[in-house]
Structure 1
Amino acid sequence: MVEALLTVFVTGITGLALWYSYFILWIRPQRLRDKLRSQGIHGPPPSFLHGNIPEMRSILHEHKLKQAQAEGSVSPIFMFSTGSIQILHVTHPDLVKEIGLCKSMDLGKPSYLQKDRGALLGKGILTSNGALWSHQRKVIAPELFMDKVKGMVGLMVEAAILLSNSWGTLLEHSGDATEIVVDEELRRFSADVVSRACFGSSFADGKEIFSRLRKLQMVMSKSSMLIGIPGLRYLPLKRNREEWKLNREIRALISNIVKERMEHSSESPAKDLLQSIIEGGSAVMNSDLGSAETFIVDNCKNLYFAGHETVSVTATWCLMLLASHPQWQDSVRDEVLEVFQGRKIDFDMIRKLKVLTMVIQETLRLFPPSASVVRETLQSVKLGDIQLPKGITTSTTISMLHHDHDNWGADADEFNPNRFSRGIASACRLPHTYLPFGIGMRTCLGQTFAMVELKVLLSSLLSRFTFSLSPSYRHSPAFRLTIEPEFGVPLIMKQLR
């Protein structure tokens, strides 16, 4: 009798689990797809469990997306699926503008970022929504305003001098010219700047954190298409075990830095971003916004990752483009030498670097750090004439907007900084489709910090060295949560005479 009841119980539980899985993977997504189809929005039919992941892999493998872009055959609005996640691909300029103008908290960051990217991003400012995000913004944004960034220029210059001196020493030992792969060098520089400016330490203190974040980024990029398959992140797969291990180690390292700060700064706390985050964490202790420890650790992870990874990859692409276009490299160098005149770099000098600003803006157009802008409808939201039901993720592919010939002209695929000579507003027909730092309320808080850092770094290097592209360079942009050169950027470096 007991065995029979147990069999019935197990059978019932199994049946409920199967039904729940079927509902999550098919019935609920099908209802969302039907609501979009009723408004004339279509897409490839998804398969059970995987959605359209196989087709996406095929597109990437065969480079069909790039070919389709050039031929203008990709629809500006269509839907597809990754597992149970229903995605509305949006590159129609009018809808992109609607997303940017939307002030409703009902259009926020997708929940899968906290779930499938939780080890890297957690519930920090890059992934949170609602009251938690509002609190995080109030804590972090003031520390990245222009007046605060001005005070960080000296720290940026110190880090740039260390880098240029190390490259100068390398040339002294190797002769007139040497080949250098700049990726990791620039990554260390940007990590040093973030550590000094925002956390009151040097790269040496945060080295283990940056190293593990980089490893975690590489692990996650290998499974970037598998988001949305329920339960996959809980399975003890090799990549999941590696993610869990790195997450534990990163949390422990950040917690140690926070603990040390709290022990040694009780009387006169440092006025930096780390201190603001610690104080912001204390404010959530008696609320329903989560624990203070999670608040502090997750936001530190966000800033350690985003603060150095996006700047370093942009600087890498910028040097590659300048090495490939020596006339622009000469123009930037002439401007830098004229403005600096051998004096120590300060903020007023940085503001005068118009040609360098144009070059950076064009680099961000051709190689935006992020592949796409993603949002999720946390409640039903209307964008233009489209009523989006709760649970739809919108995805705007930035590179498609940045390479649109109708918007940017016949030379949209070419490096031409002159298009920014009169500013972003005049660079193209629809300036709201230029999205290197995101869009709307969730535009990157650190864009001013990033632009100043890039100008300090590039002006310091170009005032001392010349660069040309190595014959061993292989052009292959790769998506590893940021868009970076798959095989690195080897350059031939010479001392400026």
Structure 2
Amino acid sequence: MAFITDSDLVKEVFNKHHLYQKQLSNPLARKLIQGLINVEEDIWAKHRRLINPAFYSEKLKLMQPSFLLSCGEMVRKWEGIVSRKGSCELDVWPDLQGLTSDVISRTAFGSSYEEGRIIFELQRERIMHLTEAARQVYVPRWRFLPTKRNRRMNAIQKEVKSWIQDIIGKRLKAMKEGENNNEALLGILLESNLEEIRKN
């Protein structure tokens, strides 16, 4: 595995993606890492083309209020703690995790942000289970055994899929009714996907 920090090299990898194949042979890694990061060639190019509009500068600027709102809530919480106690030692790690969850939920799902937070928490639990599994001796086909952890991970996966399908369904219905909510990542992606469908 290689980590690239030079922006010119990153650009080259993205533009010549067919030369850089991804190796995800470990079933645990495949279960954890799904989506754009592990697809290849034509599928990768299509998905990248669909997601690109979300990262245009004018679209990113529309997401700024979500960042400000989430940061403001966290700072107000800290101010409340300090005003009650005068001064205090504060473990900021849980709040920073919550901030990450809030920002991702607000920017990805917009008005469905509370549902997005639920998805984020479920994914956090799933990662915890996968991390615990990674610390144990690898047993081929372990994920098919009906252990308590495997049953919970499968239940989480089904629940997340259900939540996402519900959010997408609501957003598509709103778009058909003429509601324009393209400041959230989901709205941008759905609009991009609909444009791609119209072209073909």
Same-fold status (TM-score > 0.5): yes
SS at match of 1:265: helix
Equivalent residue letter for 1:209:
I
Q: Is the 8 A contact 2:119 2:163 kept in 1?
A: yes
Q: What is the CA–CA distance in structure 1 between the aligned matches of 2:106 and 2:155, rounded to whole Å?
A: 27
Say if 1:204 and 1:184 are closer, same or farther in 2 by CA, change over 3 A: farther
In the alignment, which residue of structure 2 is the partner of 1:244? 154
Matched, 1:172 2:49: no
The residue aligned with 2:54 is 143
1:108 aligned to which of 9, 12, 21: 21
**1:229 Cα offset (Å):** 5.4
**Aligned partner of 1:190: which letter?**
T
Deviation at 1:205, TM superposition (A): 3.2
Alignment equivalent of 2:188, drawn from 272, 276, 286: 276
* 2:47 corresponds to 1:126: no
User: Retained in 2: the 8 A contact 1:112–1:227?
Assistant: no
Greater C-alpha Rg: 1
User: What amino acid is the match of 2:189?
Assistant: I
Tell me how far apart the structure 2 counterparts of residues 99 and 160 of structure 1 sit (CA, whole Å).
Answer: 30
Greater strand percent: which structure? Answer: 1
Aligned-residue offset at 1:137: 1.0
Task: Tell me how far 1:209 sits from its aligned partner.
Answer: 0.9
Contact 1:199-1:274 at 8 Å conserved across structures: yes
Give the distance between the partners of 2:9 and 2:135, measured in 1 at CA.
27
Q: Structure 1 residues 144 and 226 mapped into 2: Cα distance closer, same or farther (>3 Å)?
A: farther
Deviations 1:42-65 (CA, angstroms, capped at 9, x unpaired) = xxxxxxxxxxxxxxxxxxxxxxxx
1:90-134 deviation digits (Å, cap 9, x = unpaired): 79xxxxx99985525142222337x43455443x11221111111
Matched ranges for 1:143-292 at <5 A: 143-173=54-84, 175-201=85-111, 203-224=113-134, 230-266=140-176, 267-271=178-182, 272-279=184-191
* Matched residue SS, 1:257: helix
Percent identity (aligned): 23
TM-superposition CA deviations, 1:112-160 (whole Å, max 9, x none):
37x43455443x1122111111111111122123332233223211221
Alignment of 1:93-492 (within 5 A): 101=12, 103-112=16-25, 115-122=27-34, 124-173=35-84, 175-201=85-111, 203-224=113-134, 230-266=140-176, 267-271=178-182, 272-279=184-191
What residue ranges of structure 1 are gaps of 5+ in the alignment? 1-88, 92-96, 288-497
SS in 2 for 1:168: helix
Alpha carbons 2:112, 2:167 under 8 Å: kept:
no
CA shift, 1:280, in A, is 5.2
Aligned residues: 189
Q: CA deviation at 1:245?
A: 1.1
Which residue identity does 1:275 align to in structure 2? G
Q: Take 1:106 and 1:233, find their aligned partners in 2: how far apart are those partners? A: 32
Q: Is the 8 A contact 2:181 2:187 kept in 1?
A: yes
Structure 1 residues 238 and 200: alpha-carbon distance in aligned structure 2, compared to 1, 3 A threshold: same
1:110 partner letter: Q
Gaps of 5+ in 2: none
**8 Å CA contact retained: 1:156, 1:193:** yes
How far apart in 1 are the matches of 2:83 and 2:2? Answer: 52
Cα distance in structure 1, aligned partners of 2:125 and 2:96: 17
- 2:154 corresponds to which letter in structure 1? W
Does the 8 Å CA contact 2:70/2:99 hold for their aligned counterparts? yes
Q: Distance in 1 between matches of 2:33 and 2:141?
A: 19
The CA deviation string for residues 195-232 of structure 1, in whole angstroms up to 9 with x for no partner, is 22232136533221111111001111112367985423
TM-score calculated relative to the size of structure 2: 0.77
Cα pair distance change 1:236/1:106, threshold 3 Å? farther
SS in 2 for 1:201: helix
**Contact 1:136–1:280 (CA<8 Å) still a contact in 2?**
no
Name the CA shift for 1:165/1:118 in 2 (closer, same or farther; >3 Å). Answer: same
Q: The residue matched to 2:88 in structure 1 has which SS?
A: strand
Question: What is the Cα deviation at residue 279 of structure 1?
Answer: 4.5
Contact kept? 1:212, 1:250, Cα under 8 Å? yes
Contact 1:234 1:240 in 2 (8 A): yes
Contact 2:126/2:156 (<8 A) preserved: yes
